[in-house]
Amino acid sequence: MNLNEIKKIVEKDGAKIIVVEQDKPVLVITKFEDYKKELEKNSREEIQNKPETQQFTNNTENQSLRIEDLPV
């Protein structure tokens, strides 16, 4: 099966193809739009499940910003 045949299957049927090596899945082939939607969904869920971050005040006279203070 060549790449054009795989593209047709994925585009036509909206299928996801799982490539397996040594009885383990190693790769998933899907439409790029589906991939982007999944990334956005995971990003929203991650934000919703993230604990509230500490609010910084404007009083910075005795404080200095450190790399460790920045969000990841």
Give pLDDT tens digits along the chain (72 positions). Answer: 888 988 888 888 778 888 899 999 999 899 998 889 888 888 888 777 776 655 555 555 666 777 777 766
* Residue 67 belongs to a domain: no
Residue 22: predicted pLDDT:
93
The pair of structure tokens assigned to 19 is 């490539």
* Residue 60 belongs to a domain: no
* Residue 22 belongs to a domain: yes
pTM above 0.85, yes or no: no
* Segments forming the whole domain that contains residue 5: 1-49
* Residue 15 belongs to a domain: yes
Tell me how many domains the chain contains. Answer: 1
Residue 48: predicted pLDDT:
77
b vs e for 8-39, b when ≥16 Cβ sit within 10 Å of the residue's Cβ? Answer: eebeeeeeeeeeeeeeeeeeeeeeeeeeeeee
* Residue 34 belongs to a domain: yes
Residue 1: predicted pLDDT:
81
CA 17/CA 63 separation, integer angstroms: 53
The pair of structure tokens assigned to 39 is 């990334």
* Residue 20 belongs to a domain: yes
* Residue 54 belongs to a domain: no
* Residue 61 belongs to a domain: no
Residue 21: predicted pLDDT:
93
